[in-house]
A and B are shown apart, each in its own frame.
Chain A
Amino acid sequence: EPEVTQTPSHQVTQMGQEVILRCVPISNHLYFYWYRQILGQKVEFLVSFYNNEISEKSEIFDDQFSVERPDGSNFTLKIRSTKLEDSAMYFCASSEGWNEQFFGPGTRLTVL
């Protein structure tokens, strides 16, 4: 069964460093998403991506964040200068259309 994969599973970084979180969506999907879940809180939408451009982004997704689909298979989230409050679980998701998003296992980001 096809699945969304994410690497790494856990990333530890120092405050102010850049991190890139990687995702491989399901191959025939057209829509891609990043969500995050701060420990003990709800899952929050960050950004959606379709046809090689951002289709929607939340208030959280400020200038420190960027997304890219560098080739036909990967979808990345970059945080330019990490802050302590960026520590969270980051989930990638993909979908064919709007009616079901498939989630990856997540990357736990710890900013020290």
Chain B
Amino acid sequence: AQSVTQLDSQVPVFEEAPVELRCNYSSSVSVYLFWYVQYPNQGLQLLLKYLSGSTLVKGINGFEAEFNKSQTSFHLRKPSVHISDTAEYFCAVTTGQGAQKLVFGQGTRLTINP
């Protein structure tokens, strides 16, 4: 079975500062990794995904994440955040192949202060 740990439940940062949201996973098989964002009162929107190839993946809104197999991590980063980035961020994994469920982490609430 897979599991996902997001080490920080809340991350407050100042506008234009860099941010890193941490995600670690556990799995006995190869996984595919995702970051979703949930803005207030909205559904989940895909930020980026790692399926294969380059371990550094770029997503929407200036976010990027790096897959590190040896450390079983998939941390999300942005060099300069904006007020509009205030949201809940979820890391998720799946093993792929067919109708595979996503296993989510607890979520990290990112709050951007002016």
Give the docked Cα–Cα distance between A33 and B99 (Å).
8
Q: Which residues of B contact A31 (CB under 8 A)?
A: 98-99
B54 at the interface (CB under 8 A from A): no
Closest to B45 in A: A103
Rounded to whole angstroms, the CA-CA distance of A33 and B101 in the bound complex is 8
Which applies to chain A's interface (DSSP): helix, strand, loop or mixed?
A: strand
Which of A42, A48, A104 interacts with B101 by CB under 8 Å?
A: A48
Decide if B99 touches A42 in the complex (CB within 8 Å): no
Count of interface residues, chain B, beta-carbon cutoff 8 Å? 25
Quick one: which of B27-82 are within 8 Å of A by CB?
32, 34, 36, 42-46, 49, 51
| B107 CB contact (under 8 Å) in A42, A58, A98 | A42
Min CB gap B81→A, angstroms: 23
State how many angstroms separate the Cβ of A107 from the closest Cβ of chain B: 10
The verdict on B97 contacting chain A, using a C-beta distance below 8 Å, is: yes
Min CB gap B105→A, angstroms: 6
